[in-house]
């Protein structure tokens, strides 16, 4: 087999042609590289009849930084295998992988050209009632069926080993849980909130809670996570949504995936204080986001609970009091990781357009300060916020501060 080399558009076309029967003998192919992501090459290969596929290739370094940040190309294996596994468990909402080549660290997958990236849509104020129920179903199915509730002990351990992903986990461990809480050179802090960011570096009570969340991230292999469920990893249209980009997947705490998504919905909520001037339109969109956060948790927890009751194969874990406690802890984890996402997206290396796109820098600073405040509240109060209604109260009190 040929040694790894970075694909040209010609290589990507050949790869797509070789591994799919979709193009046929006589079709003329064209190809463009259009990845706007941070790490990899993404090509669209099309024929003259309108059929197209995506080729994604891992580079031996992080694309956004360059060759000075080497990164394992084994992440393409993780991405392909997580997506294949998740697709078996939730075919409706996982992108289809057609072929994976280990040597070239390349994945051939379905082209979601009739979908748009969720983050862009939410920033422009678009609303989709199906977002929360569909993502709840994706999270409940992928997380439950890869957990100890569904797998035997030996099988689970084999799976944990297959998905260790140490290099990409280290990125999360640093960017989520360490950098924002110290004066790290990788941080990206706008001048308007420098003072609030500095408070994080001296906030020992907060740092203790973040240490707990990080320790769990390091040592709680509950289920096969997607590992990066932000609104740039979700494609959506009027009927459906599909998840892509699972290269950060590993066996970790379930609340991390659920919390990442809730954190991103909250970032959009806060961003609209600056993105939308018309107060009625803003209120309407924020109400929509609140209802999505509510229904995401309600439907996720209802489905997960139902699965624990009906599909748990491990006798000891069938105990209903244990299952209740499990859901309570999962709720607290979810809030904590959502809080971490708010903070790291505000002062860490990787920002989100929901805040960065606010053109007035004073207003942007006010929104970012709210994100830090809400992030802290979620982390600190994750055990005392008893339910979604109390979370909503927190959100409303924030708007008035
Ligand atoms: P990275 O891992 O480098 O961040 P992503 O998987 O997020 O890369 O992909 C980067 C971009 O490529 C996406 O934002 C999207 O525009 C495009 N893309 C990726 N996968 C697909 C797909 N299956 N269909 C259509 N576009 C895609
Ligand atoms: Mg990625």
Return the pLDDT at 41. Answer: 95
Tell me the percentage of the chain whose pLDDT exceeds 90.
Answer: 89
Instruction: Answer yes or no: is pLDDT of 65 > 90.
Output: no
How does residue 401 score in pLDDT terms, banded at 50, 70 and 90? Answer: low
Instruction: Answer yes or no: is pLDDT of 152 > 80.
Output: yes
Of the ligands numbered here, which is closest to the C-alpha atom of 64? 1
C-alpha distances out from residue 329 to 145, 216, 322, 323, Å: 19, 12, 11, 10
Instruction: Answer yes or no: is pLDDT of 2 > 90.
Output: no
Return the pLDDT at 21. Answer: 73
Return the pLDDT at 25. Answer: 65
Question: What is the Å distance from ligand 2's center to 74 Cα?
Answer: 13
How does residue 80 score in pLDDT terms, banded at 50, 70 and 90? Answer: very high
Q: Do the beta carbons of residue 217 and residue 256 sit within 8 Å?
A: yes
Question: What is the Å distance from ligand 2's center to 277 Cα?
Answer: 32
Annotated binding-site members for ATP: 40, 56, 110-112, 245-247
Instruction: Answer yes or no: is pLDDT of 1 > 70.
Output: no
Return the pLDDT at 63. Answer: 80
Question: What is the Å distance from ligand 1's center to 37 Cα?
Answer: 6
CA 141 – CA 300 distance, rounded (Å): 9
199 vs 401: which has the higher pLDDT: 199
How does residue 26 score in pLDDT terms, banded at 50, 70 and 90? Answer: low
pLDDT digits (tens, 9 = 90+) for 249-262: 999 999 999 999 99
Question: What is the Å distance from ligand 1's center to 286 Cα?
Answer: 27
Annotated binding-site members for substrate: 228, 344
The angle at the Cα of 102, spanning 241 to 106, to the nearest 5 degrees, equals 45
Of the ligands numbered here, which is closest to the C-alpha atom of 244? 1
pLDDT digits (tens, 9 = 90+) for 199-209: 999 999 999 99
Of the ligands numbered here, which is closest to the C-alpha atom of 118? 1
CB atoms within 10 A of CB 272: 23
**What lines the ligand 1 site, CB under 6 Å?**
35-40, 42, 54, 95, 109-113, 117, 244-245, 247
The domain made up of 9-110 is a member of CATH 3.30.200.20 = yes
Question: What is the Å distance from ligand 2's center to 383 Cα?
Answer: 31
Instruction: Answer yes or no: is pLDDT of 238 > 80.
Output: yes
Domain boundaries, the chain: 9-110, 116-399
What's the rounded mean pLDDT across residues 90-105?
A: 98
Q: Beta strands 61-62 and 40-47: pairing type? A: unpaired
Instruction: Answer yes or no: is pLDDT of 314 > 90.
Output: yes
Residues that place a CB less than 5 A from ion ligand 2:
245
The domain made up of 116-399 is a member of CATH 3.90.1200.10 = yes
C-alpha distances out from residue 273 to 39, 292, 355, Å: 31, 18, 10
Residue nearest to atom 23 of ligand 1 (CA): 111
Annotated binding-site members: 40, 56, 110-112, 228, 245-247, 344
Pocket-testing residue among 78, 245, 246, 247, ligand 1, by greatest number of atoms within 8 A of Cβ: 245
Nearest to 371 by CA among 393, 401, 328, 349: 401
């Amino acid at each position: 087999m040929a040694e790894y080399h970075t694909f040209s558009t010609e290589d990507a076309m050949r790869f797509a042609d070789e591994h799919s029967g979709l193009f046929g003998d006589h079709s003329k192919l064209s190809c463009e590289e259009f990845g706007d992501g941070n790490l990899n090459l993404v090509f669209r290969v099309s024929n003259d009849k309108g059929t197209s596929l995506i080729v994604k290739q891992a580079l031996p370094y992080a694309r956004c930084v360059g060759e000075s940040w080497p990164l394992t190309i084994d992440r393409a294996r993780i991405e392909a295998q997580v997506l294949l596994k998740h697709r078996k468990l939730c075919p409706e909402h996982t992108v289809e992988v057609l072929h994976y080549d280990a040597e070239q660290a390349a994945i051939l997958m379905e082209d979601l050209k009739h979908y748009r990236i969720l983050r862009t849509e939410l920033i422009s104020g678009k609303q989709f009632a199906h977002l929360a129920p569909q993502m709840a179903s994706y999270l409940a199915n992928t997380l439950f069926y890869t957990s100890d509730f569904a797998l035997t002990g030996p099988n689970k351990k084999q799976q944990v080993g297959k998905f260790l992903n140490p290099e990409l986990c280290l990125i999360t461990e640093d960017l989520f849980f360490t950098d924002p809480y110290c004066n790290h050179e990788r941080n990206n802090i706008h001048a308007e909130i420098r003072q609030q960011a500095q408070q994080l570096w001296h906030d020992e009570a907060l740092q203790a809670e973040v240490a707990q969340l990080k320790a769990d991230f390091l040592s709680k292999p509950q289920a096969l996570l997607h590992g990066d469920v932000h609104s740039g990893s979700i494609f959506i249209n009027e009927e459906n949504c599909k998840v892509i980009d699972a290269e950060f997947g590993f066996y970790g705490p379930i609340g991390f995936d659920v919390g990442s998504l809730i954190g991103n919905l909250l970032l959009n909520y806060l961003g609209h204080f600056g993105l939308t001037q018309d107060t009625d339109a803003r209120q309407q969109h924020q109400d929509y986001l609140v209802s999505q956060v509510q229904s995401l948790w309600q439907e996720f927890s209802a489905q997960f609970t139902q699965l624990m009751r009906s599909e748990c194969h491990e006798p000891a874990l069938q105990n209903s009091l244990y299952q209740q406690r499990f859901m309570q802890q999962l709720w607290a984890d979810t809030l904590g990781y959502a809080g971490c996402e708010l903070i790291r997206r505000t002062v860490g290396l990787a920002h989100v357009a929901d805040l960065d796109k606010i053109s007035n820098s004073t207003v942007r600073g006010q929104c970012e300060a709210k994100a830090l405040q809400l992030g802290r509240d979620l982390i600190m109060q994750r055990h005392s916020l008893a339910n979604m209604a109390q979370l909503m109260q927190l959100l409303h009190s924030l708007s008035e501060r």
